[in-house]
């Protein structure tokens, strides 16, 4: 890694038990990082993954709860001894037309996708700064600047998280670096039909889905490069060019 030796570090990965989060957790563990793998309902999967990651633990909580960020940071810190890395990977979204959005749906989506990652990052950064160093990576979305109308609360939240990334980077520099990865077409839902995959590939300049390795590589780059902060890296196969 560039600038930062990850061996012996400690990390919290939200939504770290499944799909992209699991790939990030495992990649960090393979580099000697002890990981606090966060889950909400996927406890069995989180426990199974932790068993593959030496020194790692599972922390559980619903990010929609206002007290969850502070509790999760404190628990991960206590059980691992400290935190050097936070990856805000967890997300939720629901399809709803603009005409049908109600305050409850809006608040629920922003709680998980903006409020929780902001306070997780803020609380972790305060502790990291006291120790002299830390790295935070938030996962946003390539389509923040071209949002789909059927997912406006989700994209509003991810746009806010992109702005928060830059603001937190300025607030906690030079000790703590804060960056973001904006995934594009990486993984489709498990039940996506073949024709959906083909359509996504046709719309992507590189002509393929990125897969989890593409996101893992970007996260590791941002965690390991000690001269990058306040930036959002699009990992979208060129999708944002169209």
Task: Give the residue numbers marked as catalytic.
Answer: 154
**Residue recorded with tokens 């930062």:** 4
Q: Kindly give, in sequence order, each residue whose CB lies less than 8 Å from that of residue 162, ignoring residues fewer than 6 positions away.
A: 138, 140, 144, 180, 182, 232
Q: How many angstroms separate the CA atoms of 166 and 80, rounded?
A: 28
Q: Which residues pair with 59 in a beta bridge?
A: 38
Spatial separation of the C-alpha atoms in residues 144 and 73, rounded to whole Å: 27
Dihedral sign (CA 90, 94, 98, 104): negative
Q: What CA–CA distance (Å, rounded) separates 42 from 162?
A: 27
Residues 35 and 29 sit within 8 Å (Cβ to Cβ)? yes
| Distance (Å) of CA 228 to CA 96, 163, 165, 166, 220 | 36, 16, 12, 12, 12
Q: Which residue, chain included where needed, has tokens 């973001």?
A: 180
Strand order in the sheet with 85-88: 57-60, 34-39, 10-13, 85-88, 134-139, 176-183, 232-235
Q: Other CB atoms closer than 10 Å to residue 217's CB: what's the count?
A: 14
């Amino acid at each position: 890694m560039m600038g930062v030796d990850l061996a012996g570090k400690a990390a919290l990965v939200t939504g770290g038990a499944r799909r992209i989060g699991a790939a990030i957790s495992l990649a960090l563990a393979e580099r000697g990082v002890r990981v606090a793998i966060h889950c909400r309902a996927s406890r069995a999967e989180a426990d199974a993954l932790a068993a593959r990651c030496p020194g790692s633990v599972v922390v559980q909580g619903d990010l929609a709860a206002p007290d969850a960020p502070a509790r999760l940071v404190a628990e991960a810190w206590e059980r691992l001894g400290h935190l050097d890395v936070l990856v805000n990977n967890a997300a939720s979204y629901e399809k709803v037309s603009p005409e049908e959005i109600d305050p409850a749906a809006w608040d629920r989506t922003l709680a998980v996708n903006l409020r929780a990652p902001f306070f997780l990052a803020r609380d972790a950064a305060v502790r990291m700064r006291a120790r002299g160093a830390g790295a935070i990576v938030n996962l946003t979305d390539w389509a923040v600047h071209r949002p789909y109308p059927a997912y406006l609360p989700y994209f509003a939240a991810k746009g806010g998280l992109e702005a928060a990334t830059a603001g937190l980077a300025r607030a906690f520099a030079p000790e703590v670096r804060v960056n973001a990865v904006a995934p594009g077409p990486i993984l489709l839902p498990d039940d996506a039909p073949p024709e959906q995959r083909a359509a996504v590939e046709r719309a992507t300049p590189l002509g393929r889905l990125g897969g989890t390795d593409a996101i893992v590589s970007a996260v590791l780059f941002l965690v390991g490069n000690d001269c990058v902060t306040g930036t959002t890296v699009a990992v979208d196969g060129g999708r944002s060019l169209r």
